[in-house]
Structure 1
Amino acid sequence: MRKSVLVAALALSTTALAATPPEGVEYKPRRGFFTETDIGMFFTLGGENTYSNAQSYLQLGVGYDLTETLSLGLHFGLGSSAANCFAGYLPDSDICALSDNFTVAFGDMTAAYHVRMTDRFYLTPKVAAGYTRLDPAPVDVSGDPSRTLHALNAGVGIGIEYGTMMDHFSVGADFLARYVFGPNIPTFALFPRVKYTF
């Protein structure tokens, strides 16, 4: 009799453990209004030197998760292109006609789609589009080479996101490629992300 009670208790406890989520509550990622801070690296392609030296990149963002899978955001990004000449060299020299070092500032709207891989891990393809400011102008498109250059940009990216055990925090990493129209400069940013969802 005791053996059958013990076997039944063990069978029931195993079933209960298998069916009960951790801490008795099914995990759901927190969704809603969020902010994020991203620090990584940035570089450009093209120009006389083919690619720029990798530079630091900072991005700050706010956004809102419209559904479990779709989020929209506004992001400000700041990077720089170093040692890459887009205006061509002066005749018979290796001196760039305009600056070969310039700051690139982005103000973009982004949309991301969350593809669930596991309970806490997501693949996040995204698109971005918005405004770009290049200072000083790396190419002369206005007849005034000393001016700051303003242009539009658009791009695509891929990222990962992990919902940590700290309820409001997610961490991840993104690779984002954007094309600046006008000066026709491809830019790339690779950065880890820290996201706080309210």
Structure 2
Amino acid sequence: MKKCLWVAALALSSSALAATPPEGVEFKPRRGFFTETDVGVFFTLGGENAYSNAQSYLQLGVGYDLTETLSLGVHFGLGSSAANCFAGYLPNTDVCALSDNFTVAFGDVTAAYNVRLADRLYLSPKVAAGYTRLDPAPVNTEGDPGRTIHAPNAGVGVGIEYATMMDHFSVGADFMARYVIGPNIPTFALFPRVKYTF
């Protein structure tokens, strides 16, 4: 009799643990309209110096989760390329023909596909395309060499996102590679991300 009661107790306790999610409610990450703030590092590749010094990068974004897996957003990013000459050196010198330090501003539309790795953890491949402003011009342009350049950009990236125990907040990190078309400048940004979903 004792043996039967013991087996029954084990069976009931294991099924109860398996069927009851934490606090009685199954976890689902919040999806919908979101904003995000990102601060990280930025650099360029190519040019006479092969790569630029790493500089600070700021990105702000708004977007909407269309489904559990697909998100669309608009992001504004600001970084700079430091000590990398894209215009070539003046003859017989190591002086850049144009500025080897310039600001890079992005205004992009982005799309992300969230792949669930665990209950709160997602891998997010991304694509981006939009507008770039380079100031001052790092490559030859007609007219004033100090003027800005406006050019399109396209890029890809990958991120990781974790839905925290605070209901509206997710944190993560992204790596984005963008190519500025026209001046032909590859840019890279690596940044942690804080996302708030309304």
Question: TM-score if structure 1 supplies the norm length?
Answer: 0.96
SS of 2:38 mapped into structure 1: strand
Q: Which residue of 1 aligns with 2:187?
A: 187
Q: Which residue of 1 aligns with 2:111?
A: 111
In structure 1, list runs of 5 or more residues that go unmatched: none
SS of 1:125 mapped into structure 2: strand
**Deviation for aligned residue 1:132:** 0.4
The residue identity in structure 2 corresponding to 1:140 is N
**Deviation for aligned residue 1:6:** 4.8
Separation in 1, partners of 2:146, 2:81: 17
Separation in 2, partners of 1:151, 1:141: 12
The residue identity in structure 1 corresponding to 2:187 is T
Separation in 2, partners of 1:69, 1:160: 13
Q: Which residue of 1 aligns with 2:65?
A: 65
The equivalences for 1:121-136 within 5 A come to 121-136=121-136
The equivalences for 1:10-25 within 5 A come to 10-25=10-25
The equivalences for 1:29-178 within 5 A come to 29-178=29-178
| Identity fraction in percent | 85
Separation in 1, partners of 2:47, 2:192: 27
Q: Is the 8 A contact 1:110 1:128 kept in 2?
A: yes
The CA deviation string for residues 124-176 of structure 1, in whole angstroms up to 9 with x for no partner, is 00000000011111012333211111111000001111111111111111110
Separation in 1, partners of 2:142, 2:115: 43
SS of 1:13 mapped into structure 2: helix
Question: TM-score if structure 2 supplies the norm length?
Answer: 0.96
Separation in 1, partners of 2:84, 2:124: 31
SS of 1:15 mapped into structure 2: helix
Q: Is the 8 A contact 1:141 1:183 kept in 2?
A: no
SS of 2:52 mapped into structure 1: coil
Point out 4+ residue stretches in structure 1 off by more than 6 angstroms.
Answer: none
Separation in 2, partners of 1:142, 1:57: 29
Q: Is the 8 A contact 1:151 1:182 kept in 2?
A: yes
Separation in 2, partners of 1:142, 1:184: 17
Q: Would you say how many aligned residue pairs link Structure 1 and Structure 2?
A: 198
SS of 1:14 mapped into structure 2: helix
